[in-house]
Amino acid sequence: MMRGLKDKVIIVTGAAQGIGRAIALRLHEEGANVVVADRNKSGAEKVALEITSQGGNALAVGLDVAERDEWKGALLEVVNRFHRIDGLVNNAGVTRDSTLLKMSDEDWDLVIDVNLRGAWLGCQLTVPYLKNNGGSIVNLSSESRWGAFGQSNYAAAKSGLVGFTRTVAIEHARHGIRANAVAPGSTNTPMLEAVPEGVRQSWIPNIPLGREADPKEIAAAAVFLLSEDASYITGQIIGVNGGSSL
């Protein structure tokens, strides 16, 4: 077991599937109360049911992370139910890949709004609650933050999260709040289903461990950063990528 997660209240955005779902389930295993937040409310409800049917505490909330008013409503629901907030995982993310010259305004704006603005809103509105409890924030960056073909929007958002995460860590260390990011490499989730199988296979030779990540392997790093075992870690970006950045 990781230290200090029992009975803590942790919000995970984009938790209806993929990495967010794996983080929610692992947090439950560690004894936390989990807020399963997603714009896909019925998907969030399914994950919450997986947790409650195992005797855990979970609350499903519908939330579009790019919308300030939706955050306000979601946080009221969380506080009504659990009376505190101890952690936040800004995991909701989308891709809309195309090369620079073909990219539409809509695809640029959506990717920046969900991945970057969503994490900013989440931190701005949740930090006042975390201030009372210490607390820990984990943002989901990506290996693509270094730049990736067809991903000028996504690379900008995910590298933007690096500076953002480090700044939150600097500003709120005095309140006992830690902020870190996990930067996954290729991970086997529904997000990657948009990528043709041949392209996915072509990435494998560049991964020293020779395979994509399982979502549970990303969740392990995120949950570690939320836990007391990471009590002296803040402002860090942890690559979980099978060595692909080497």
d(CA 93, CA 138) in angstroms, rounded, equals: 14
Rule CB under 6 A: is residue 142 a binding residue for ligand NAD?
yes
Nearer to ligand NAD, 122 or 135 (CB): 122
Compute the chain's Rg from CA coordinates.
17
Alpha-carbon span 21 to 14, nearest angstrom: 8
Please report whether residue 206 would count as binding ligand NAD according to CB under 6 A. Answer: no
For residue 26, give the nearest of 46, 49, 45, 1 by alpha carbon: 1
116-135 residues in contact with ligand NAD (CB under 6 A) are 118
154 is catalytic: yes
151 contributes a contact to ligand NAD by CB under 6 A: no
- The one catalytic residue in 82, 108, 129, 154 is 154
Task: Give every strand in the sheet of 33-38, ordered side by side.
Answer: 58-62, 33-38, 9-13, 87-90, 136-140, 178-184, 237-240
Q: Which is nearer to ligand NAD, 5 or 47 (CB)?
A: 47
Q: Is 109 in the site for ligand NAD (CB under 6 A)?
A: no
Q: Does 189 bind ligand NAD (CB under 6 A)?
A: yes
Torsion region of 31: left, alpha or beta (phi above 0 gives left; psi -120 to 50 gives alpha): left
Query: Smallest distance, Å, CB 3 to ligand NAD?
Result: 25
Q: Which residues make up the interface to ligand NAD (CB under 6 A)? A: 13-14, 16-20, 38-40, 43, 63-66, 91-94, 114-115, 118, 140, 142-143, 184, 186-187, 189-192
Q: Which residues carry out catalysis?
A: 154
